[in-house]
Amino acid sequence: MVIEKIHQQGPALSRIIAGAWRWHTVSADVVERLIHTSLDQGISSFDHADIYGDHGNEEIFGNIIRRTPSLRQRMQLITKCGIKFPSTKRPATRVKHYDTSRDHILWSAENSLRMLGTDHLDILLIHRPDPLLNPTEVAEAFAALKEQGKVLYFGVSNFTPSQFRVLQKYCSFPLVTNQIEISLSRIDPLFNGDLDTLMEFGARPMAWSPLGGGKPLPVEDRLLFNQAAKYNATYSQLSLAWLMKHPSFMFPIIGTTKPERIIESAKAITLDIDKQDWFEILKWVMGKEMP
Ligand SMILES: NC(=O)c1ccc[n+]([C@@H]2O[C@H](COP(=O)([O-])OP(=O)(O)OC[C@H]3O[C@@H](n4cnc5c(N)ncnc54)[C@H](OP(=O)(O)O)[C@@H]3O)[C@@H](O)[C@H]2O)c1
C-alpha cells in the first residue's frame, strides 16, 4: 500500500483508509482482526468520529490499543467532532445539533484521546458545517490543541468550497483535507467545485462511502461487470480505482466489516483504469454522453 501525504504540510496516510463507522456491528474480536488485517495490507490510517456506534466505537478500538500499545506507532488516527445527538450517554443533549464552540472542540478532542487510548490524534476534523460556526473560535481551539501536541493536523468534512475557504482564512496552518461523500452513486463533487477547491488549496480529499455504502448502483451494472472482468478486478476494486484516478488524489475510506474485503480493497491501488474506460463508466453513471 502506498503512503502519501494528504497535504504538502500534512501527514502521510495510507492511500486507502479504514473507516470505523460500522465497526460496532461486529464483535470486538472482529474489530481486532479488522485492525490487524488493515495493517498487514498497509492500510495504516483509521477514520473515526466521536459519535460512531453511539459514542462507543472509539473506545472499542482504544481497548485494542490499550492491550497492545505498540499498534499505535504503526497507525495514523483520524477522528471528528462537532455533532451532538440525544443519547443515554449524552443526557444533556435534547435535540440533534452541531457544536463547534471552542470549549466543545477542546473537550471532544480530549475525550477522543481518552477513548482511543492515545496521547495524540493525527488529524481532527469538524464533522459537518455548523450554521453557527465561528471561525475565530474554531481556529483558536485548533491552535491550542496543536500547541499542546494533542492534535497534529486539522481538517473538515462535508464542507462546501466557500465554507472551507472561510475557515482556512482564519487558521494559521493549512486545513489538510475535506472528507466528502463521493462514489459512483454520488458524483456531484466532480462538478460542484468540491474537488477543485481542494486542489486550489493543495489539500487532498478523503472519500467517504466510496462504494455508496454498499447500496446497488442506480444504473445497470452490466458495464461495470464487463469492465471489472476486463481488468480482472472486482466491482469494488474497479469503483475504488475509478475514484483514485481523479487528479485531486482522493483517499477512499472503506467501510467494510469483513477482513477479506479489506484485502480485496487494498488491491485496488494497483489498478489503473484506461481514460476511455473511466469516461465510459462516468457516462453510465450520468446516463448520458459527456456534452
Ligand atoms: N464524514 C462523514 O460524514 C462520513 C459519513 C459516513 C461515513 N464516513 C466514513 O466513511 C467510512 C466508509 O463509509 P461506508 O461504510 O458507507 O463505506 P462503503 O465502503 O461505501 O460501504 C461499506 C458497506 O458496503 C458493504 N459492501 C458491500 N459489498 C462490499 C464490497 N464488495 N466491498 C466492501 N464493502 C462492501 C459493506 O458491507 P460488509 O461490512 O458486509 O463488507 C458495508 O456495509 C465510514 O466508516 C466512516 O469512517 C464519514
Active site (annotated) includes residue 52: yes
> Which pLDDT value is given to residue 217?
64
In this prediction, residues 263-279 reach a mean pLDDT of 96
Question: From CA 227, how far away is CA 248, in angstroms rounded?
Answer: 23
Q: Per-residue pLDDT tens for 72-82? A: 999 999 999 99
Distance 277 CA to ligand 1 centre (A): 24
Question: Which among 99, 97, 115 is positioned nearest to 59, based on CA atoms?
Answer: 115
Q: Per-residue pLDDT tens for 123-153? A: 999 999 999 999 999 999 999 999 999 999 9
For the stretch 243-261, what's the b/e string if a residue is b when 16 or more beta carbons lie within 10 angstroms of its beta carbon? bbbbebbbbbbbbbbebeb
The residue contributing the CA closest to ligand 1 atom 28 is 214
Distance 144 CA to ligand 1 centre (A): 33
Q: Is the CB of 22 under 6 A from ligand 1?
A: yes
| Helix axis angle, 161-170 to 194-201, nearest 10° | 30
Mapped onto helix, strand or coil, the DSSP state of residue 125 is strand
Q: Identify the structural domains of the chain with CATH numbers, from first to last.
A: 3-219+246-269 (3.20.20.100)
> Which pLDDT value is given to residue 1?
75
Average confidence score pLDDT of the chain = 96
Catalytic residue among 52, 98, 170, 235: 52
211, 225, 242, best to mutate for ligand 1 pocket (most atoms within 8 Å of CB): 211
Element (H, E) at 31: helix 28-40
In this prediction, residues 258-263 reach a mean pLDDT of 98
**What's the grid cell of residue 126?**
469538524
Mapped onto helix, strand or coil, the DSSP state of residue 153 is strand
The residue contributing the CA closest to ligand 1 atom 37 is 256
